[in-house]
Amino acid sequence: MKKIFFIVFFMLYFSQFFSQEKMQSKETYSFKKGDFNGIGKWFLGREIAYVMGYEGINWLERSTREKEENTSKLIKNMKIKQTDIIADIGAGSGYHVFKMAELAKKGKIYAVDIQPEMLLAIEFNKKYEEHKNIELILGDEKTTNLPENKFDKILMVDVYHEFNYPKEILECVKKALKKNGQLFLIEYRLEDESIPIKKIHKMSEKQAVKELATVGFILKENIKNLPIQHCMIFTKE
């Protein structure tokens, strides 16, 4: 009899838990049809884009990327110190990870991705053996799995707009940053129609500020020296 009681109790408890979680999700997000490349889920008026799968890894490593995005300038914008502890959320193939690891030789770079195949690509890269200051972290849709109050800088390059749970990830990012830590949000500029990227994969500065404000981030600066992307630096209030 006791066994049946406990089974019923746990069924009711978890049913209520998932019901509450679903209600909270509905309060934060809305759902409706939108862009063909969107998932039909909206956050503060912006539709979330489909995640680019690991099958697109060659695009991340394309030979024209430096010329198109001036990734070297982005790294300079971050003013990386040798002792910096940095997380790259949505690290993909490690394109930026290896550049940062070279500069933060006495620090550490955490490469975070929700696709194990991406992390394997980093691990199998010969550069991974050269740098002993890279740690691979498997995250998921709602958490980065990063330790709290540890990071000097967190980088997100053209990935935030694909987060299925942007608010939850932003909350994790805020907790992970040190008091004076910086979040570098890099997104293709929605304000510029000439940029040959699908609209759903772009973001405006105004929209970014609105979304990040929900968890207490403020825009410190938008460095406007990249060819096609915003380089927005956010700090905690």
pLDDT for res 179: 97
Q: Across the chain, what does the average pLDDT equal? A: 92
208 — pLDDT class (breaks 50, 70, 90): very high
Tens of pLDDT, residues 59-72: 999 999 999 999 99
Residues contacting 40, CB < 8 A, separation 6+: 31, 32, 33, 34, 47
In this prediction, residues 180-189 reach a mean pLDDT of: 98
Which domains, ranges and CATH numbers included, belong to the chain? Answer: 55-236 (3.40.50.150)
pLDDT for res 237: 85
Tens of pLDDT, residues 48-58: 999 999 999 99
pTM to 2 decimal places? 0.89
Least confident of 3-7, 66-70, 82-86, 220-224: 3-7
The secondary structure of the chain as a DSSP string is -HHHHHHHHHHHHHHHHHHHHHHHHHHH-EE----TTEEEEEETTEEEEPPPPGGGHHHHT-TTHHHHH-HHHHHHHTT--TT-EEEEET-TTSHHHHHHHHH-TTSEEEEEES-HHHHHHHHHSHHHHH-SSEEEEE--SS---PPSS-EEEEEEES-GGG-SSHHHHHHHHHHHEEEEEEEEEEEEETT-TTS-S-GGGEE-HHHHHHHHHTTTEEEEEEE--SSSEEEEEEEE-
Tens of pLDDT, residues 16-25: 533 444 444 5
27 — pLDDT class (breaks 50, 70, 90): confident
